Amino acid sequence: MTILAAGVDVGSLTTKAVVVDGAGRKVGWSLVESSPHLAETGREALDAALGMAGATLGELSAIVGTGYGRAVLPFATKQVTEITCHAMGAARIFPGTRLVVDVGGQDSKAIRLGNGGDVLDFAMNDKCAAGTGKFLNAMAATLRTGLDGLGPEGLKSRKQLTMSSTCTVFAESEVISLIAQGESVPDIVHAVHRAMAKRLSGLVRLVGAAEPAVFSGGVALNVDLVRLLEEALEVRFSVPDQPQLVGALGAAVLAMGTK
Amino acid sequence: MSLRDKVRYRMMKDVGLPAAMGIDRLRKARRVRPRDPLFGPPLESSGALKNLMMRHYGLARYAEGAMPVAWVTSGAPVELLRAFGFYTVYPENHGAVCGARRVAPDICAEAEAAGFSQDLCSYARIDIGHALSGKTPVGKLPRPDLLFCTNNICQTILYWFKDLSHMYGIPLIVLDTPFLYGEPAAATMDYVSGQIRDMVTALERITGKPFDEARLAEVLESSRRGSELWGKVLATMRHRPAPMTIFDAFVHLAPVVSLRGLPVCERYYEGLLAELEDRVERNVAAVPGERHRLMWDNIAIWFALKPMSRFFAENGCVGVAGTYTNAWAETAHHLDLKDPWGSMARAYGLIFLNRDLGYRLDLMARIAAEYAADGLVLHSARSCKPYSVGQYDIRRKLSERLGIRTVVIEADMTDFRAYSEEQAKTRLAAFFESLEGGRDGAAAAAGGGGSGA
Amino acid sequence: MGRTEYLIAQKEMGRKVAAVWPARYPAELLWAHGICPAEVWDPPLEPERASGHLQPYVCGIVQRGLELLLSGGLRPADILLFPHTCDSLQNLATMVRDLGGEARRCLFFYPPKRDAGERAIAYLMAQLRDLSGELTLHVGPMNAGALEDAMELGSQRTEAMRRLYDLRAEGRLSAGNAAFYAAVRACEFLWPEDAVHSLHTFAKEQEGTPSDEAVPLVFSGVLPQPADFMEKLDGLGVRVVEDDFLGCGRRIVRRTIPAGEDPWRVLAERMQALPPCCTQGASVGDRTNFILELVRRSRARGVVILDVKFCEPELFDAPLIVAGLRESGVPVLILETEMEPRTPAGMLTRMEAFLETLS
């Protein structure tokens, strides 16, 4: 019988679950939209991941809960913050990782790792929409590109525009001004990405840029933004295949380790 | 300090810089800029001002090693430093230049990356960011040997300069000027003048030079004259139409801030005053369409001087008075060679930013009357708490007392990241519209800022 | 007994009440004039009226203090005393007095902002005498020997507070964080005899070895805020073993001031002997060393810098102090509070993540 463990990352927008085997390999995973009933959503995500792994709850040796809703998961055997879990997850996928930048829907964080994948320092932005997925959501809505459309649009940019605002509300009105001035959507999107990259690089510099670096969270799929952050920090970022699952993976790995 | 550095400084001062600036002047003379129809002829003195400040920052590059260098706050008794032969740099002025060149966010980001909060004064963040990265638009600032500050303008400079002292590992001299609620107590003025007296001893020790009383007397005299000339320059704006605007005044303020006590400062203002008096005589207007005369409260929005000035002029508005520019003409008359310590204590301890808001209210009412201002623009500068905290109430009180229209715009001196041009323009537009409607006791109804909403 | 009830009882006893703003002021002088100080740090009010007078970039302490005043909460105060602490409080004071129609009961005090040696002492002494003159006009003169008696009570209160802090640092106090700070902060409004009694009782009741395996940390900053944060820390298994809070540990004289002939002088010297503070122009080096000493004496495993958003004096020092502490090998966590009604999840996450790095 294989030994299995799981991690559940309950965020305010999405909830992720990962099941790993004894070697720390992913054998099941899921991503669901969070509801206000965090415990239920957590269970839903876990069940889906178990389904993919062809396993049941009883077969799990341990379950680590992380994320915003980690305290309310009745089935979790342990709670660990998303900072530690993201560090663990990134280091598992890319051994030797020294820096993790995670940009989710509601917050962003920069984590510095030591030699052993342990957390040395971290900085978070969870108060201000700018620098998080929310900022991009707002811009995507104003520009009518859809969130997934931002990356490809930005890559098409030919002209460098500057946006000076760091506040989401101000930025929205700046974008509208640029549209009114006849600037193209790709150029505006690229400028939005540049503004966000600047903001994120400020966050990273609080803990110190380092390589190897990993970019996780849903926003990591925005190639244009990642490239701009690389330019701003002079650091190459590795992006995992499933960047939103890094926290849950880290939690699962920790769960496996606690046995 | 080395002989080589001293010689190089002298060479640059007498030969190198004048030559470089001469070439620059020739180059610029070939470019003809079209006249902006909104404004009267540009001030000819502006050219001389540019040269003066270019020379100041140019020489600054060579000062390190040639003479002792001090970084000074705008309200500090610089006359003492001049008496000891320091080359002085004003980080606040450098901050204003960075603001005007729109590079403040970039330099501030260096400080923020080191953990300094974005909510701190942007002048301080620029200075700390510069200390960490060397970034500056003025070439190179000389490393200070001494930091010299006075907290009459704010307490923030105390924290800022203390940080610099720690980062550079150099001494800091502080003149502690207690904030005055009402008239100053004798003990307070004694405390201040006593500290000034003590500074002389400290400076003798730091420079290894004996105190030159005659030199101080010279400098005090020059400082007073320069400040008085500046006061006269400002007073020309009482004329209708005003020969220059408050936005010009912000720019021409630089010499009395950074070069006060030096002959170049006096000479500069003699020239500027002559030009302005000539304009007054010939009724040359800075804004030919002058309809409304406005007073500006707080420091300038350095990164938006031109657009702000244009927006005012487009609406027939001319800024003719300001509390900030007035500060350098306000207390210099106290300077008295016969009582150097006591008079400096008064000249620096009694500046309006160091006094209660009742005093400020009376001062603003007086200025508004002297300059026949029919409107007040309050710049709520995020960076500057002593200037900005209380503005909402000052606005209401002045509006009632003087029956003039008022508006608050939220901005900062240099950091435009948190500035919404749209928001500011909307408020100003509504304010300008209300001015057209005539005088009454109510504050501008639309685009108000009383509640910060 | 709640704070308000207590102060009403004080008034009924014939004492006057002074609302005192942060941070450092000569409490003994007020006691000598029969005035009970009630400090205004963080009244549990949301700034509604205050936002019509203050920009959003002004700190929560100033916002809430003004809110308390505007809501009528300070009507029973005979005096409003504003010690000079920072730009925002400075301007709040003059707003209240000069624009708020409160000239009648506003008084001021200016602790020197630099180490000017004898000049600072002389200035402090002159101010103390002037303040006493003002208080005389308001509430009447001091009785003979009142100042000496007040100085003695001040010594006793300091001793009692120091003892409590010593017990905690040595791991000989079983009280949790919430209980500790409730006891300490009650002295913000207790008449000194009551304060001494309360502190002694608390020490007696709580002396003993704490039962849990809490992680010992030193906290530096302004206040133990948000209001439920200390309780949350109890839940997380964190023990605050020493503090450099502006409102608490940073106002305890940690060394004995020799008794002197002149009570005015002794009072001035006591004020100058307080721990290094950013609001008094103390150097970064002195502050860092003070915190390192707190870490050493309490054997703490790390330091938490708990800053209030928009607090300039603290925020200018913080990055340099953090660098200094880290250079000395001390783990540091930086937290920022806006004095929210409840501790935000983000603050707890950061605290937990920090604890995870320590384990």
Quote the CA–CA distance of B227 and C355 in Å, as a whole number.
58
pLDDT of residue A237: 98
Low pLDDT (below 50) residues in chain B: 439-453
Is residue A87 domain-shared with residue A107, that is, in the same domain?
no
**Which chain C residue lies closest to B181 (C-alpha atoms)?**
C94
Contact A119 C346 (CB under 8 A): no
Residues 6 or more apart in contact with residue B75 via CB below 8 angstroms = B150, B152, B153, B177, B348, B351, B353, B354
With a CB-CB cutoff of 8 Å, which residues 304-343 of chain C face chain B?
A: 309-310, 312-313, 315-320, 322-323, 334
Contacts C22 to B, Cβ<8 Å: none
Per DSSP bridges, beta strands C215-221 and C106-109 are: unpaired
Cα B392 to Cα B407: distance, rounded to the nearest angstrom = 10
| Smallest CA–CA distance from B417 into chain A, residue | A165
A116 and A208 part of one domain: yes
CATH number of the domain residue A13 falls in: 3.30.420.40
What pLDDT does C211 receive?
Answer: 79
Q: How far is CA A67 from the centre of its chain?
A: 11
CA B33 distance to own-chain centroid: 28
Task: Report which of B123, B92, B77 is spatially closest to residue B342, judged by C-alpha positions.
Answer: B77
Q: What is the 3-state secondary structure (H, E, C) of A52-88?
A: HHCCCHHHEEEEEEECCCHHHCCCCCEECCHHHHHHH
Q: Using CA coordinates, name the residue in chain B closest to A176.
A: B422
The tens digit of pLDDT for each residue in A182-193 reads 999 999 999 999
Diameter of chain C by CA atoms?
59
Q: Map tokens 């390190």 to a residue.
A: B64
pLDDT-derived band at A126, boundaries 50, 70, 90 = confident
Cα distance between the two ends of chain A: 15
- Interchain contact, A83 vs C349, CB within 8 Å: yes
Residue C57's CATH number: 3.40.50.11890
User: Who among A84, A107, A127 is closest to C353 (CB)?
Assistant: A84
- Select from A251, A210, A239 the least CA-distant residue to A89: A251
Q: What is the dihedral of CA C62, C68, C72, C73, to 10 degrees?
A: -130
- Touching A (3+ Cβ pairs <8 A), the chains are B, C
**Torsions phi, psi for C216 (to 5 deg):** -80, 125
Q: How confident is the model at residue C308 (pLDDT cuts 50, 70, 90)?
A: very high
Q: How high is the ipTM of this complex?
A: 0.96
pLDDT at A168: 84
Interchain CB contact of B358 with C (< 8 Å): yes
> Residue C18 in contact with residue C86, Cβ under 8 Å?
no
Smallest Cβ–Cβ distance between B385 and the set C87, C112, C316 belongs to C87
Q: Are B80 and B200 in contact (CB under 8 A)?
A: yes
Return the pLDDT at C66: 98
pLDDT at C216 over 80: yes
Same domain, A151 and A173: yes
Structural domains in chain A (count): 2
Question: Tens digit of pLDDT for each residue in A154-205?
Answer: 999 999 998 887 788 888 888 998 999 999 999 999 999 999 999 999 999 9
Is C50 inside a domain boundary?
yes
Tokens 């006269």 — which residue? B232
For residue C151, is it within any domain?
no
Q: Does residue A113 sit in the same domain as residue A203?
A: yes
What is the CB neighbour count within 10 angstroms for residue C148? 14
- In three-state secondary structure terms, B299 is coil
Q: Are residues A116 and A155 in the same domain?
A: yes
Q: Which residue of A has its CA nearest to B422?
A: A173
Contact C357 A126 (CB under 8 A): no
- A68–chain C nearest CA distance, Å: 7
Å from A170 to nearest chain B CA? 6
Residue B453's pLDDT is what?
34
Q: Which residue of chain B comes nearest to C307, CA vs CA?
A: B117
Both A105 and A26 in one domain: the answer is no
Residue C74 lies in a domain: yes
d(CA C1, CA C186): 11
How many structural domains comprise chain C? 1
The domain of C61 spans 3-139
Interface of B with C in 379-398 (CB under 8 A): 380, 382, 385-386, 388-394, 397
Find the mean pLDDT for residues C339-347. Answer: 93
Q: Which residue has the tokens 């939690």?
A: A251
Residue of C nearest to A118 (CA): C357
A236 CB-contact burial (10 Å; exposed 0-12 / middle 13-18 / buried 19+): exposed
Q: Which two tokens stand for residue C324?
A: 């200094």
Mean pLDDT of the region C276-292: 97
Cα angle: B343, vertex B344, B346; to 5 degrees:
65
The reported pLDDT for the residue numbered B31 is 66
What's the pLDDT at A157? 96
Q: How far is CA B203 from CA B70, B166, B172, B215, C153, in A?
A: 11, 19, 11, 14, 43
pLDDT of residue A86 exceeding 80: yes
Amino acid at C238: V
Contacts of A80 in chain C (CB under 8 A): 356
Q: Are A130 and A85 part of one and the same domain?
A: no
Report the C-alpha gap between A254 and A7 in whole angstroms. 8
Q: Does C289 touch chain B (CB under 8 A)?
A: no
Asked if the structure places residue C70 within a domain, the reply is: yes
Domain that holds residue A42: 1-94+242-259
Q: CA–CA distance from C61 to each of B19, B384, C21 (Å)?
A: 56, 18, 9
Distance (Å) of CA B215 to CA B84, B203, B204, B207: 8, 14, 14, 15
Element spanning B377, H or E: strand B375-381
CA distance A40 to A59: 20
CB contact under 8 A, B191 and C84: no
Q: Which of A50-54, B18-22, C72-76, C207-211 has the lowest mean pLDDT?
A: B18-22
C157 belongs to a structural domain: no
Residue C225 has pLDDT above 90, yes or no: yes
At residue A171, what are phi and psi to the nearest 5 degrees?
A: -65, -40
- Judge whether B74 is closer than 8 Å to chain C, CB to CB: no
Cα–Cα distance between C237 and C215 in angstroms, integer? 6
Examine the domain organization and report whether A232 and A128 are in the same domain.
yes
Position C247: which residue type? G
To 10 degrees, the CA torsion angle through B342, B345, B350, B353?
A: 180
Asked if C285 is an interface residue toward chain B (Cβ–Cβ < 8 A), one would say: yes
Radius of gyration of chain B (CA): 22
**B349 and B364 Cβ atoms separated by less than 8 Å:** no
Is B353's Cβ below 8 Å from some Cβ in A? no
Searching chain C, which residue's CA lies closest to the CA of residue A127?
Answer: C346
Pairing of strands C106-109, C79-83: parallel
- How far apart are alpha carbons B10 and B59 in whole angstroms? 9
CB atoms within 10 A of CB B445: 10
pLDDT of residue A164: 80
Give C227's Cβ-side CA count (13 Å radius). Answer: 11
Per-residue pLDDT at B447? 40
Range name among A1-10, A162-171, C106-115, C159-168 with the lowest pLDDT average: A162-171
Residue B191 to residue C122, Cβ atoms within 8 A: yes
Does a structural domain hold residue C169? Answer: no
Residue type, B322: G
Dump pLDDT digits (tens) for C246-259.
999 999 998 888 88
Q: In this predicted model, what pLDDT tens digit does every residue of B396-432 receive, in sequence order?
A: 999 999 999 999 999 999 999 989 898 899 999 999 9
**A–B CB contacts, 8 A cutoff, strictly below:** 30
What amino acid is encoded at B369 in this protein?
Answer: A
Tell me if A83 sits within 8 A of C349, measured CB to CB.
yes
Report d(CA B233, CA B273) in Å as an integer. Answer: 5
Question: What is the predicted pLDDT for the residue at C189?
Answer: 98
Instruction: Give me chain C's average pLDDT, please.
Output: 96
Order of strands across the sheet that contains B69-72: B87-89, B69-72, B146-150, B172-175
In this complex, which of B113, B416, B422 lies closest to A202 when CB atoms are compared?
A: B113
> Which residues make Cβ contacts (< 8 Å) with residue C109, sequence separation at least 6?
C25, C26, C81, C82, C83, C84, C127, C131
Quote the DSSP letter at residue C305.
Answer: E
pLDDT tens digit sequence for C86-99:
999 999 999 999 99
Q: Helices (DSSP H) in B236-351: which residue ranges?
A: 246-252, 254-258, 263-282, 305-314, 323-330, 340-349
Q: Is residue C300 domain-resident? A: no
Please tell me the predicted confidence (pLDDT) of residue A258: 64
